[in-house]
Amino acid sequence: MSIIQTAERHSAKLSSDNVMHQRHMIAYAEAAKIVSGSVIEIGSGEGYGIAHLSAKTEKYYAIDKFASRFDLSKEEQKKVHFIQMNVPPLENIADNSFDFAVSFQVIEHIEDDDFFLREIYRVLKPGGKLILTTPNRKMSITRNPWHIREYLTNELESLALVIFDKVEMNGVFGNEKVMRYYHANKASVAKITRFDIFNLQYKLPRKVLQIPYDILNRVNRKNLHKKNTSEVNNIQLNDFYINNQTENCFDFFMVAEKKKG
């Protein structure tokens, strides 16, 4: 697998990343209940979701802007195809090609989110579905300078409904154990941001803040793990769940459908 380029890319191998990893993997677990046929994943990252989804599919295209090398079984090698590509557009991907598109924690990085969704709509077959997650800005503890924008409740739905014919909105939530970690994280970050008396995290250009954010994010996760090792390590996939979207979900979980022919 490829190296982690930023703190945005969580690792299953780092104990300090465990909570973020499980939060992301719940989306794959839910998508595995839905997908079939041909699937295109946009933003495949380290490839952690491939094992969850490819077994349910006949053809699986994984797209990411970074070169990736996945540890695939022989069966997975027959159906999984990786394409290194910056999106949008989905270059050289034909119209009406896939039954499902999956894109987790990607749209917040895309400058033209409307074009991004239109490209996904284009490559889906009639009746095809997009399964997408993105952070809920209300629950973000601080500004993430790697994100172009984050959405509030109903903003993503409003954007998608201009393009897709049907949109179902849910959210990713955590149980009491997850919420204890969230509040500990929030308190820890507040100790760092209290020095930002001029609110520069919201005033400076994103690119100026990306490296400092990465460093502080890694330090903060490691400190949280050191102080709460047992609790961080013990948070598992089943400590997260999907339910109706509210302003208190961690991520929005959207399923958008293209009109049947």
Residues 49, 70: contact at Cβ < 8 Å? Answer: no
Least confident of 38-42, 94-98, 99-103, 205-209: 205-209
Give the domain ranges of the chain.
15-257
List, in sequence order, every beta strand (DSSP E) within the chain.
37-42, 57-64, 80-84, 98-104, 124-135, 166-174, 240-244, 251-257
Peptide bond into 89 cis (omega under 30): yes
Q: Mean pLDDT for the chain? A: 91
C-alpha 42/C-alpha 252 separation (Å) is 17
pLDDT tens digits along 130-144: 999 999 999 999 999
Q: What is the pTM of this model?
A: 0.91
- Cα 85 from chain centre: 17
**Average pLDDT of span 7-15:** 67
Residue 112's pLDDT is: 98
pLDDT tens digits along 59-83: 999 999 998 778 787 878 889 999 9
Please report, as a single letter, which amino acid is at residue 127.
Answer: G
Evaluate if residue 119 carries a pLDDT over 90. Answer: yes
Per-residue pLDDT band for 4 (boundaries 50, 70, 90) equals very low
Find all residues with CB under 8 Å of 73, minimum gap 6, and list them: none
C-alpha 210/C-alpha 151 separation (Å) is 20
**What CATH number was assigned to the domain covering residues 15-257?**
3.40.50.150
Per-residue pLDDT band for 40 (boundaries 50, 70, 90) equals very high
Least confident of 12-21, 33-42, 246-255: 12-21
C-alpha 4/C-alpha 37 separation (Å) is 30
Residue 261's pLDDT is: 73
The strand pair at 57-64 and 37-42 is best described as parallel
C-alpha 136/C-alpha 245 separation (Å) is 10
Evaluate if residue 216 carries a pLDDT over 60. Answer: yes
